[in-house]
Structure 1
Amino acid sequence: MQETISIKISNPDHEKAASILEELSKNLYIRFGSDGKNSFQDWQNENAKYVFVIAEINTEIVGCGAIRPVNEHTGEVKRMYSKYRGKKIGQTLLAFLEDNARTIGYTNLVLETRVKNESAIQFYQKQEYNIIPNYGKYRDRPEAICLGKSLN
């Protein structure tokens, strides 16, 4: 039986959100030696171009994700995390974020992950994200790989 995943817009500083973000950071640190927190420091809760969401099954927080602006038409996917594999949590989160991105007015989404994070790269490619040239602070970072998707 497929469990129902509910996605809710939240504040990353909220207690429930903070716990799943901390779990994500620990997971990244164990796998890649960096927790990724420094790429999520400039969050603006009051800005409508920023969206942070949590995923719940029953009352358990099972994932999170975010979008923030790169420029007027491009949003960046950040802090994507699914606690369990095979439950379509990541797909549900990303579809929700993409719908919100369109509503906000973004026409493109981009993201960065580690080259070593093969499961994430495969996940995004299955969701129709393509490898793009590294952008912004990732430009000269050989350990980084960037992907993007047109929302048109």
Structure 2
Amino acid sequence: MTENISIKITNPNDEKVLAIIEELSANLYLRFGSDGKNSFTDWEYNDSKFIFAIAEIDNEIVGCGAIRPISENIGEVKRMYSKYPGKKIGQTILAFLENKAKATGYTDLILETRVKNQEASQFYKKQDYNVIPNYGKYTDRPEAICFGKSLK
């Protein structure tokens, strides 16, 4: 039986969405000692280039992901999470975000994860992201690894 994953854009402050964001933060904290929330609180949710999406299976929110603007043409992938491994939830969310990013005018996407997060690094490599020099606040952080992908 194949489960249908539906993806939709929503507001990350929506009460129904907060649980999946908290689950992601708790998961990151348990695994890596940091919940990643500090880079998710200062965003302009009303910015037309900000995209936040959730994945649902049978009305259960099973994943999320976001893109925030870095510049006019560069977006940063943030808060990617799949509640259930092996169901292509992450792939489905990321493909949706990439399509929306391209339609929004982004030409490139970048992201950061922890070097320790081998699962995420392997996931992004399989989605054709390449290791790039650490950028922005990650420049002098050896625990960070950054990836990029052209949408052209």
- TM-score band, normalised by the shorter chain? over 0.9
Distance 2:17 2:134 in 1: 29
- For residue 136 of structure 1, what is the aligned residue in structure 2? 136
Question: Which runs of structure 2 are paired with 1:1-152 in the superposition (5 Å)?
Answer: 1-152=1-152
The list of structure 1 runs, each at least 4 consecutive aligned residues, that deviate by more than 3 angstroms after superposition, is: none
Residue 57 of structure 1 and its aligned partner are, at CA, apart by: 0.1
Residue 109 of structure 1 and its aligned partner are, at CA, apart by: 0.2
Distance 1:123 1:101 in 2: 19
Question: Which deviations, in whole Å up to 9, do the C-alpha atoms of 1:47-106 show, x marking residues without a partner?
Answer: 111000010001100000000011111000000000001100000000000000001100
Question: Which deviations, in whole Å up to 9, do the C-alpha atoms of 1:5-46 show, x marking residues without a partner?
Answer: 000101000012111000000000000000000011122221
| TM-score, normalisation: structure 2 | 0.99
Unmatched runs of 5 consecutive residues or more in structure 2: none
Unmatched runs of 5 consecutive residues or more in structure 1: none
1:116 aligned partner, one-letter code? K
2:110 aligned partner, one-letter code? V
Distance 1:84 1:64 in 2: 12
2:74 aligned partner, one-letter code? T
Distance 2:88 2:2 in 1: 10
Distance 1:123 1:20 in 2: 20
Identity of aligned residues (%): 71
2:83 aligned partner, one-letter code? K
